[in-house]
Chains A and B, each alone.
Chain A
């Protein structure tokens, strides 16, 4: 059962990241996607983050990093600490390059 939910979470993560409306002009659509993505990120347990990050391709790591930084802007109870864990794991894979792209890309989360 536990195994099943963790793979469901990873799948949810891939789905939200690969459908992220980064280029969208509608702020409403972006905000909605942000809240869904944050829900997914915060519901994945600390011990499963590594596995989830490993299953992402480099393109999605960049998107993940954009949402991590966006998530820092609207903190909720305990969210920032959890996002820092995500940040650490994504940084291990994407290096400083993916942080640079959060800053330099014009299509933002």
Chain B
């Protein structure tokens, strides 16, 4: 079943959210400079801590599951790494990103020894902890980025990074830090992997345009998918000579996407419902299902009465029902895995401008939706 949650009396949009390892706690930002940590108790959420260090709106949160550290970045151009003290309170450590525009997105690497921050300064800061100086330092990836980085994701090998940008391009970079890592092995994306090496570059569209909103590496790391503002969903495959598949959809643009297996993608955005896309055996991308099974609300037996009420109140015949026929009542901005990994996800969570958090169960959705085959 689908679980719907709200946090206390917060009605503002949820900018983004991130879960801890065992999914008992969640970090959300209510569209301002704060990050709230909630603990789940059945269907109740208890506010544990408020991380109040940023001066301006928080743009990205990521929670490293194993080292239990939270990294946040915000429009104030700063990033903080938060560690939990003995008393359970979170303590910030400032990270010097050396950027002169807003930080827009942040992601821990799979090994959790470094993280990447995208920004409006047309660069990506790759940050790691330098134990000699007891200090987080950052290295920049600059070329050939020509606009704001909107989204980043790590390859499972802890080295490669995919970044989507408002210059209508998706790029795969190496984020290899030789001070803290041993030489990476070759991947289908290439062999030379010094920091900042451009491994691949994909234009979003032949007809130009379309900000890239979200990018994701496939669980095996050989494919990337991205969604952009031309309502498209795209896949590129390094094992097939960087072949691109583009599917222009008939929906409003997606804002977030993730792989849930090596051949399925969930995407969600302005159409307020998560959609499932699959790669078939021929490598073609196609639409599988709407995962929101809400039915159109019936006008009901009282329609005549409601009609006269509406005439009386508003001097109009039509009944103005402003509710959408979906669970989310506004655009979905963030999509996270909740159960399983990218290779075998069984649950995922979405949050959006309506201030709701929704947890979707793919196992039960597969049973519910006729003819749907996810696993």
Contact = CB atoms under 8 A, between A and B. Distances in A.
Given A104-B229, A104-B230, A97 B251 contact: yes
A97 B210 contact: no
Contacts of A56: none
B207 A22 contact: yes
Name the interface size band of chain B.
Answer: 10 to 19
A97 B208 contact: no
A13 B102 CA distance: 47
Contacts of A100: 229-231, 252-253
A62 to B, nearest CB: 7
Interface residues of A, number: 15
Interface string B101-129: 00000000000000000000000000000
Interface in B165-190: 168
A105 B208 contact: yes
Interface in B203-241: 205, 207-211, 228-231
Contacts of A23: 207-208
B209 A106 contact: yes
Nearest to B168: A106
What does DSSP make chain A's interface, helix, strand, loop or mixed?
helix
Contacts of A94: 250
A105 to B, nearest CB: 4
B249 interface: yes
Contact of B250 (A96, A104, A107): A96
B208 A106 contact: yes
B248 interface: yes
What does DSSP make chain B's interface, helix, strand, loop or mixed?
loop
Interface string B267-292: 00000000000000000000000000
A107 B207 contact: yes
Contacts of B251: 95-97
Contacts of A104: 209-211, 228-231, 253
Interface string A38-78: 00000000000000000000100010000000000000000
B368 to A, nearest CB: 24
Nearest to A98: B250
Contacts of B230: 100-101, 104-105
B248 A58 contact: yes
B249 A97 contact: yes
B15 to A, nearest CB: 23
A105 B205 contact: yes
A97 B231 contact: yes
B204 to A, nearest CB: 10
A105 B252 CA distance: 14
Counting chain B CB atoms within 10 Å of each CB, the highest count among A22, A95, A96, A100 belongs to A100
20 contacts: A23-B207, A58-B248, A62-B207, A94-B250, A95-B251, A96-B250, A96-B251, A97-B248, A97-B252, A100-B229, A100-B230, A101-B207, A101-B230, A104-B210, A105-B207, A105-B208, A105-B209, A106-B168, A106-B209, A107-B209
Interface of A: 22-23, 58, 62, 94-98, 100-101, 104-107
Given A100-B230, A104-B211, 8 more contacts: A94-B250, A96-B252, A97-B252, A100-B253, A105-B208, A105-B209, A105-B210, A105-B230
